[in-house]
Amino acid sequence: MDGIVEYGYAGLDAAWKRGCEFLGTKYAILGGAMSWVSERNLVAAISNAGGFGVIACGAMTSELLEAEIKGTQALTGKPFGVNLITMHPDLDKLVDVCLSLNVGHVVLAGGVPSKETIVCIKEGGAKVICFAPILALAKKLVRTGADAIVIEGMEAGGHIGPVSTSVLAQEILPHMGDVPVFVAGGIGRGEAISTYLRMGAAGCQLGTRFVCATESIAHPDFKKAFIRASARDAVTTVQVDPQFPVIPVRALNNEGGKKFIETQHEVITKYRAGELDLETAQLAIEHFWAGALRRAVIEGDVEFGSVMAGQSVGMVKKEQSTEEIIEELVAQARSAFTEDGAQRSDP
């Protein structure tokens, strides 16, 4: 056993201690902010199970966000955060709502936050967590005042960047010791969590694994689609012409994805025939998926809706309680540390 203690990480608890202390949680596992899925019931369940739930504000108004935060507080006394999209037209009002309701952590996503926003949140008494796709931006955000960073690889569901989680971790973790860094994207088992912790992460963020939690309000058909899917079914949206850019989104391949490609071709043909101007054509493509995520998550339209999922969807095998999912992840991570430490202690 002495060899295990001598090993740099005495175990899982030591490895993610910094992340747990920053979040105020038992486990340094964040719930990914998934629009329509990460609402009060799932968020509270993650926090109650020892993780850190995060409300996905998305396009909510300040009134809706206020109700969601209060609803979550009624379900848990544990820490949780709120994810705000920096491009939201009423970002300042949303920040005020979070601060007025004593939200301890605000996650800023969907763009580079301004220094003014970061300073406002910190002066209001909350911690700021920012997303960074490259090392230079991560360092800049920390200099601006970010208290923690999330790096998310292209294996994640929803809007993604071009670089894999494993590469981002290698590029960024060795150079970011000043603040806690959480790793996200394609994580479905505890062994992966233990690997990133060894590399210097303070914890990990998971979204896809929680979609089929019993506390998740996702439609039964949405959950069935996840349980049936394999990793290769979670694909990115296809862009057919660089003149008409498409923001990469990872979702399960379905009839909606095929129709999106057809629509792009039809719109571009009309543009080239002079039937549409460039701006109208670009908007027609951009608005194709409007409301598609809600249709899939809430109404169960998994054929033509947007079934956003990360590549870890292949590891979602059944509906489980949130507590069971988290305890399973923790047991796997703890076992990985124990086995590695035992191997290192052998003569």
Please report, rounded to a whole number, the percentage of residues in the chain having pLDDT higher than 90: 94
Round the average pLDDT of the chain to a whole number and report it: 94
In a domain, 313, yes or no: no
Q: Is residue 68's pLDDT more than 80?
A: yes
Widest CA span in the chain? 76
Same domain as 288, residue 189: no
Same domain as 203, residue 272: no
In a domain, 290, yes or no: yes
In a domain, 56, yes or no: yes
Same domain as 297, residue 206: no
In a domain, 224, yes or no: no
In a domain, 139, yes or no: yes
Return phi, psi of residue 21, to 5°.
-65, -40
Residue 114 sits in a domain whose CATH number is 3.20.20.70
Same domain as 35, residue 8: yes
Number of domains in the chain: 2
CB 276 within 8 A of CB 270: yes
Per-residue model confidence as pLDDT tens digits over 188-226: 999 999 999 999 999 999 999 999 999 999 999 999 999
Per-residue model confidence as pLDDT tens digits over 106-133: 999 999 999 999 999 999 999 999 999 9
Q: Which two tokens stand for residue 105?
A: 């952590």
Q: Which two tokens stand for residue 115?
A: 């220094």
In a domain, 314, yes or no: no
**Structural domain of residue 91, as residue ranges?**
2-218+319-342
Per-residue model confidence as pLDDT tens digits over 279-289: 999 999 999 99
* CB neighbour list of residue 209: distance below 8 Å, 6 or more residues apart: 187, 188, 312, 315, 316, 325, 329
Rg, the chain, Cα only: 21
Q: How confident is the model at residue 338 (pLDDT cuts 50, 70, 90)?
A: confident
Same domain as 189, residue 74: yes
Same domain as 133, residue 33: yes
In a domain, 15, yes or no: yes
CB 180 within 8 A of CB 18: yes
Q: What is the DSSP letter of 125?
A: T
Same domain as 257, residue 161: no
Same domain as 166, residue 130: yes
Same domain as 268, residue 191: no
Same domain as 75, residue 118: yes
Same domain as 187, residue 100: yes
In a domain, 223, yes or no: no
Same domain as 278, residue 161: no
Q: Which of 210, 250, 180, 222 is nearest to 56 (CA)?
A: 210
65 Cα distance to chain centroid: 18
Q: Is residue 6's pLDDT more than 90?
A: no
Q: How far apart are CA 262 and CA 264, in angstroms?
A: 5
The 10 Å Cβ neighbour count of residue 290 is: 10
pLDDT at 326: 98
Q: How far apart are CA 217 and CA 213, in angstroms?
A: 9
